[in-house]
Amino acid sequence: MGVSSTVAEINLLLDSVTHYIYIPVSQHPHAPALVADTPLYVTCEGNHVLPYKVYVVNTYTRTAVDSIDVGRYPNGIAVLKP
């Protein structure tokens, strides 16, 4: 199995990939978090070498707009609205 470095847009109502448009991030993305009216946040373990990152994805442009260095092996995220 190859190493993924993309996040696919999925339509939850149809339970399928929406447009097969992939958003490039770092290696091993998982545990995305999305709250209405906020960016998508995706944790990435990278290639198991520091820095590990959380990518901030603009869901309208479907691009990674920022990244945040985090601790080892990020494996989940929660987004709280103020």
* Tokens matching residue 68: 């945040």
Mean pLDDT of 44-61: 78
Residue 34 has phi, psi (to 5 degrees) of -140, 130
> What are the backbone angles phi and psi of residue 74, rounded to the nearest 5°?
-60, 130
Q: What is the pLDDT of residue 1?
A: 41
- Rg, Å, the chain Cα set: 13
Domain boundaries, the chain: 6-70
Q: Which residue has the tokens 């707009």?
A: 65
Q: Is pLDDT above 80 for 21?
A: no
Rounded Cα gap, residues 81 and 69, in angstroms:
21
Assign 20 a pLDDT band (cuts: 50, 70, 90): low
The Cα–Cα gap between 77 and 63 comes to 19
When pLDDT is cut at 50, 70 and 90, the band that residue 55 belongs to is confident
Q: Which residue has the higher pLDDT, 53 or 25?
A: 53
